[in-house]
A and B are shown apart, each in its own frame.
Chain A
Amino acid sequence: MAAPAYPAWVTRWVSGQWRNKKRPPTLRPPRTLALADKVANRREQSTDATCITEMSVMMACWKQNDFNDTPCAEEIRMFYDCVAKAEKEHRNENEDTLSPRGDLPSSKVNKLLKRFPQITRYV
C-alpha cells in the first residue's frame, strides 16, 4: 500500500484545513452575475462651435465696409452655407452613429443597450 488514493475532501478534512478556516471564500454576490443594461453616466466633452472661421471672415469684412451687407455678400453666403451644412449634419445624427470625434456618449450607449437587453432567465 504505497499511496492509498483517498478523495480530495478526505485529505483536506484529515489535515484540518477546513477547521482552520482555510476554506474557499463563500461568495454570496449581492447582485446577479450578469452585465447590466446601462453604463455609468460620463460627462462627455462638449463639442466645438461650428462655422467660427466663416463668421470671423464675415466680421472682418463688415469692419472694413462699415457693416454694409452689399459688399460682403460673398462672405455672408459662405457663412449661410456653412450654417446649413452644420444644421443638416446635426439633424442626421442617428442614435447609432458615432460623434464626429469618434466616440459614443453614454446616453446613446444606454439607448442601444436598452433595445438589446441581457437575457437573465430562460422560459
Chain B
Amino acid sequence: MAAPSAAGLGRRLRAWLPRIMPVRWSRYNPSYLEPEVKKESYQKPLEELTQEEREQMERKAVRPIKAAPPSLSSSVFSDPLISKFTNMMMKSGNKVLARSLMSQTLEAIKRKQLEKYHKAPENEKETIECNPYVIFHQALKNCQPIIGLSNITKGGKTYQVPVPLTDNRKRFLAMKWLITECRENKHRRTMMPEKLSQELLLAFNNEGPVIKRKHVLHKMAEANRAYAHFRWW
C-alpha cells in the first residue's frame, strides 16, 4: 500500500513543478495578437483599409498584444531573411560577431560588383546588379531545392522517397548548405565574409557548389521517382 501511494505522490509532485528547460511552444494565451511593427501600416488613412484590416484594428482594441521580440525591428534596413541567416551563422550566442560578419559580407558583395561595374563597357553596365540585398535574395532563391527526399520504411526496407518541401524547409536548406559550404570546403585562412560573398555571387549566377548540391538532390529525387507512391500524404 505504501508503494502505490509513493508513486502517485511522486507523479503529482512532478506535475506541479514548472518546466525548467525551455520548450519550443509559446506560453501566451491564444487570444494574444502579434505586434505590428511596420510604420506604413499605421500611416494609412482610414478609407484605404480593407475589410480585414478594419477587423484587425477592432480586434487590437480589445485583445492583448504579445511583447515584441528584440530581433523584430521597424527599421527600413532590417530584413527578416538576413536576420534568419545571421542567426544561423551565429555560434554560442555571439550575435555581435555574426552581425558584423553579415554586414562585412554585404559590403564585400557591393565592392566586387562595383569593381565589375566600373570595368564593364557602357552597354553592359545596366545588366550588373549592385544591390547586395537583391543579390542575397536571388542567390538564396536559386539555392532552394524544389523537391526533397524523405526516408520511408516499407516492408522492413527504408526507401528514399521524393517528397514536396514546405517553404520554411526550403529556406532552411538553402541557408544551411551555403553556411556549411563556406565553413568546410574552403581554405582554412580565408575570412568568412570573403568566402560567403564569393558563394553568394556564384549562386546568384546559378553556378557554384551549392547549386551543384541542389542539382544532385534533384537528380536523386528523379532517380527515385518510382517510389513516389510510398507517400501517404
Please report A residues at the B interface, Cβ cutoff 8 Å.
Answer: 46-52, 55-56, 58-59, 62-63, 67-69, 76, 79, 83, 90
Contact = CB atoms under 8 A, between A and B. Distances in A.
Contacts of B230: 49
21 contacts: A47-B232, A47-B233, A48-B232, A49-B230, A49-B231, A49-B232, A49-B233, A51-B164, A52-B228, A55-B147, A55-B164, A56-B225, A56-B228, A59-B221, A59-B225, A62-B222, A67-B218, A68-B206, A69-B206, A76-B146, A79-B164
A37 to B, nearest CB: 27
- Is chain B's binding surface mostly helix, strand, loop or mixed? helix
Interface of B: 142, 146-147, 162, 164, 206, 215, 218-219, 221-222, 225, 228-233
Contact of A49 (B146, B221, B222, B229): B229
Given A47-B232, A49-B232, A62 B164 contact: no
A46 B232 contact: yes
Contacts of A46: 232
Contacts of A83: 164
A51 B229 CA distance: 10
Nearest to B219: A67
A55 B219 contact: no
Contacts of A79: 146-147, 164
Contact of B228 (A49, A68, A69, A90): A49
Contact of A62 (B142, B218, B229, B231): B218
